[in-house]
Chains A and B, each alone.
Chain A
Amino acid sequence: MVYSILFFLLAQLSTTVCAQFSTTPAQPGLCHAAICFANPVDEAAFERANHCVFGSMCAGQAIKSATQCCGANRFSGKPEVHDKFQTVESGINALHWWTAYKAECPAMTQNGAPPDALWAQCVPGRKHSPSDDWEVVIAEKNGTSRDYCIDGCSTPPSFVWGLWKSGVFIFNDKDNPTGKGPGGIGATSSFFNACAAHDRCYQTCSIGIDQSACDDKLLSDMLTACATIPPDHITTFINFLGFPDDENTRKKCTDAAKDMHTGLQAAGSPAFKKRRTQYCQCCK
């Protein structure tokens, strides 16, 4: 009885009340979501909406100071932001993950928790995540939330190299494939600012801005950059076979933009999931 009262008081004092993902096989009536709620009212609303109940508040765990949620790694037991947002579908398909997360976490916010294993290196010159291909260029303040980490166009090096060798890109450069190199038009055709905005978009928690919204905005911004190139501008450069080559710069720029956009549609969902996982939380 005493423990029940203490637990109730703790729940009331805290701004956050959590429910933990059940590791046991599915049972009728149990909620199978690893999300945190701002208060018991929200949790009860979730239970009603999903016709399920959580077994107990925080499954009996204390709220973690590091995350201000009861989310803990199911395996290590350590508090992890990442663990809070895993859904049943997360390992299957990143787009399905986002659909499920949106449904479970309509009040998502920017994460203000201290850096953790997933987010410890937003430092220019270092990789934001160990699995990233490129290093951070700009660490940009975002109020009290985690910094925006900008690495520009994050296309895989083999993708950039392949499009350069096959002649779609004029130069082997991820941020400015039609301008950065000997003979190139220079910063005019750079996609860096468009890609920086795209980085922010992936790192912004908003239920209404999903991956395709971010990707489509990137395409629009890249095409805007291409439109500043004079339509008849010709880039003369030495191709990788050692010979002078001429290309219409604006056309190459728009082709590059479209291929990069198609690439994001085809292979960008893991990156989107990674960033939203790093930057979003359900706890208020």
Chain B
Amino acid sequence: MKTRKNAALLLLLVAVCGNSMAELTLVETKRELRKTTSAQAYLGKNAVYWIQSSPFADNASITIQPFEARGMSGQKNVKLSVLPMIMSPSYRSLHANGILIIYMDYAGKVHASQIDDSLAIVKKTTKLENPSIVNEIISTQEYYVIGGIGNDDFASLVFLDKNLSKQTKINLPVKKKGEVSSLFFDKGRFFAISNHYDASAYLHELSLSGVVRRTTQLRGGAATGVSLENHDFAISYRVGREVFIERFDGEMKSLWIRKLHDVTGIATRKGNLHDMKNEIAWVGANNDKLIVYRLDDNGNIIHTSRDESSGYGVPSSSSYLSIALGRDIHIRGQDRKSGGPVDDLIDSFHFVDSKE
């Protein structure tokens, strides 16, 4: 009996020594009107913006602010012709030339608006036929690639030219209802992850002209992914209530798989992944708490942070976003619990996860 106790203690010590536990640092909180939708935009290598839509029906607009900024610092207001109800949560461009936001209005119509380089005015807006819900937009010099859910409820991948005049639908080989959840470029090609109603997920490799070269079924569903600096990929997915990260090399060969946790209570549907140079970070929620994991190149969890003290309720499937800047991870969102039934005031939060 004593031997078994010692063995358990040894295992615990190994686990603790290999994985530092920390508290997420709350750097800013403020009481504000409940916003309907938010998004983030990556422009170039280091500029990331936090975008929120107005809560007022008679003020169709968005605010754009550097993601890591606090208070009202650097905030710009951009007028729109209609109020967004749901906004595409992520826009990534290798170049700092404006932002494209795609949003569904309260009449259920979908619009794409180009914000100018100064992030102050809308240059052009067009209506989109397909998709209806957008999860990710990536931008090249020539076109935007838009991933989401189509009007037909199938996973949707669309090319949109920079004049917003031509929409080209890309046919994915998996003919099942679902969504495109993640898009990422790598070495003259790009990848799309599709998730489907039957809890399956696929990684599609495409040429820059949109030809599907290879499709690989993943081990789970509800997947998201990110390309890594050395041209590997990290993909997060669920199998039942278990959440995993799997690393692939550039040829889509699996390098390792690491289980993060079992989903309990209110939790994120899909995790956000970040390339941290020699680490991979997973940001999400489990058991009604924000959580950040950092894994090393070999898939070992080397750092875990949780929000144990704020008491905030994490919006389980929307409304909080995260970025990696240098060694830090910033997480912004609005508390799920604090909104009163009448006054509509809510606590916004800004956490930072730092690792020694």
| Interfacial residues, chain A to chain B (CB-CB below 8 A) | 156-159, 161-163, 165-168, 223, 226-227, 234, 239-248, 251, 254-255, 258-259, 262-263, 265-267
Q: Do A243 and B199 touch (CB < 8 A)? A: yes
Tell me the complex Cα distance, A266–B107, Å.
8
Q: Do B108 and A162 touch (CB < 8 A)? A: yes
CB of B196 within 8 A of chain A? yes
CB of B327 within 8 A of chain A? no
Interface residues of B in 307-356 (CB under 8 A from A): 313, 316-318, 336-337, 339, 341-342, 344
Q: Do B336 and A156 touch (CB < 8 A)? A: no
Contact digits for B185-224, partner A, Cβ 8 Å, 1 yes 0 no? 0000000000111111000000000000000000001100
Interface residues of B in 215-242 (CB under 8 A from A): 221-222, 238, 240-241
Tell me the complex Cα distance, A162–B132, Å.
8
A241 to B: closest C-beta gap in Å: 5
Q: Do A168 and B318 touch (CB < 8 A)? A: yes
Query: Given contacts A162-B132, A163-B86, A223-B342, are A248 and B105 in contact (CB under 8 A)?
Result: no
Q: Do B57 and A266 touch (CB < 8 A)? A: yes
With a CB–CB cut-off of 8 A, which chain B residues contact A243?
Answer: 199, 221-222, 238, 240-241, 263, 269
Q: Which residue of A lies closest to B89 (CB)?
A: A166
With a CB–CB cut-off of 8 A, which chain A residues contact B107?
Answer: 156, 158-159, 266-267
With a CB–CB cut-off of 8 A, which chain A residues contact B179?
Answer: 165, 241
B87 to A: closest C-beta gap in Å: 9
Q: Do A165 and B85 touch (CB < 8 A)? A: no
CB of B138 within 8 A of chain A? no
Q: Per a CB cutoff under 8 Å, which of B34, B58, B60, B178 touches A258?
A: B34
With a CB–CB cut-off of 8 A, which chain A residues contact B18?
Answer: none
Q: Do B266 and A247 touch (CB < 8 A)? A: yes
Q: Which residue of B lies closest to A158 (CB)?
A: B108
Q: Do A242 and B196 touch (CB < 8 A)? A: yes
With a CB–CB cut-off of 8 A, which chain A residues contact B24?
Answer: none
Q: Do A158 and B106 touch (CB < 8 A)? A: no
With a CB–CB cut-off of 8 A, which chain B residues contact A241?
Answer: 178-179, 195-197, 199, 221-222, 269-270
With a CB–CB cut-off of 8 A, which chain A residues contact B316?
Answer: 167, 245-247
With a CB–CB cut-off of 8 A, which chain B residues contact A165?
Answer: 132-133, 149, 179
A150 to B: closest C-beta gap in Å: 22
Q: Do A248 and B86 touch (CB < 8 A)? A: no
Query: Given contacts A226-B341, A263-B85, are A162 and B199 in contact (CB under 8 A)?
Result: no
With a CB–CB cut-off of 8 A, which chain A residues contact B104?
Answer: 158-159, 162
Query: Given contacts A162-B108, A251-B336, A254-B341, are A266 and B82 in contact (CB under 8 A)?
Result: yes
Contact digits for B94-129, partner A, Cβ 8 Å, 1 yes 0 no? 000000000011111100000000000000000000
Q: Do A251 and B36 touch (CB < 8 A)? A: no
Q: Do B339 and A244 touch (CB < 8 A)? A: no
With a CB–CB cut-off of 8 A, which chain A residues contact B58?
Answer: 265
CB of B83 within 8 A of chain A? yes
Q: Do B336 and A248 touch (CB < 8 A)? A: yes
With a CB–CB cut-off of 8 A, which chain B residues contact A248?
Answer: 266, 313, 336
| Interfacial residues, chain B to chain A (CB-CB below 8 A) | 34, 36, 55, 57-58, 60, 82-83, 85-86, 104-109, 132-133, 149, 178-179, 195-200, 221-222, 238, 240-241, 263, 265-267, 269-270, 313, 316-318, 336-337, 339, 341-342, 344
B341 to A: closest C-beta gap in Å: 5
Tell me the complex Cα distance, A247–B339, Å.
16
Q: State the 4 A-B residue pairs at the shortest beta-carbon distance, nearest first.
A: A158-B108, A167-B317, A242-B199, A265-B57
- If A157-B108, A245-B269 are given as contacts, then 7 extra A-B residue pairs at C-beta distance below 8 Å, sorted by A number, are A161-B108, A162-B108, A227-B341, A243-B238, A246-B267, A251-B313, A262-B83
Q: Which residue of B lies closest to A260 (CB)?
A: B106
Q: Which residue of A lies closest to B341 (CB)?
A: A223
Query: Given contacts A242-B197, A242-B199, A246-B267, are A267 and B106 in contact (CB under 8 A)?
Result: yes
Q: Per a CB cutoff under 8 Å, which of A166, A234, A265 touches B266?
A: A234
Q: Do B341 and A162 touch (CB < 8 A)? A: no
With a CB–CB cut-off of 8 A, which chain A residues contact B337?
Answer: 251
26 residue pairs from A and B, CB less than 8 Å apart: A158-B104, A158-B107, A158-B132, A159-B108, A161-B108, A162-B86, A162-B104, A165-B132, A165-B179, A166-B86, A168-B318, A239-B269, A242-B198, A243-B221, A243-B238, A246-B316, A251-B313, A251-B336, A258-B34, A258-B344, A259-B36, A262-B83, A265-B58, A266-B60, A266-B106, A267-B106
With a CB–CB cut-off of 8 A, which chain A residues contact B342?
Answer: 223
Q: Which residue of A lies closest to B270 (CB)?
A: A241
Q: Per a CB cutoff under 8 Å, which of B34, B85, B240 touches A163?
A: B85
Q: Which residue of B lies closest to A263 (CB)?
A: B106
With a CB–CB cut-off of 8 A, which chain A residues contact B344?
Answer: 258
Q: Do A159 and B85 touch (CB < 8 A)? A: yes
Tell me the complex Cα distance, A262–B36, Å.
9
Q: Which residue of A lies closest to B195 (CB)?
A: A241
Tell me the complex Cα distance, A246–B316, Å.
8
With a CB–CB cut-off of 8 A, which chain A residues contact B221?
Answer: 241-243
Q: Which residue of A lies closest to B178 (CB)?
A: A241
With a CB–CB cut-off of 8 A, which chain B residues contact A227?
Answer: 341
With a CB–CB cut-off of 8 A, which chain B residues contact A242?
Answer: 196-200, 221-222
Q: Per a CB cutoff under 8 Å, which of A157, A240, A255, A267 touches B105?
A: A267
With a CB–CB cut-off of 8 A, which chain A residues contact B108?
Answer: 156-159, 161-162
Q: Which residue of B lies closest to A231 (CB)?
A: B337
Tell me the complex Cα distance, A262–B178, Å.
28
Q: Which residue of B lies closest to A268 (CB)?
A: B106
Q: Do A166 and B238 touch (CB < 8 A)? A: no
B98 to A: closest C-beta gap in Å: 25
Tell me the complex Cα distance, A157–B132, Å.
12
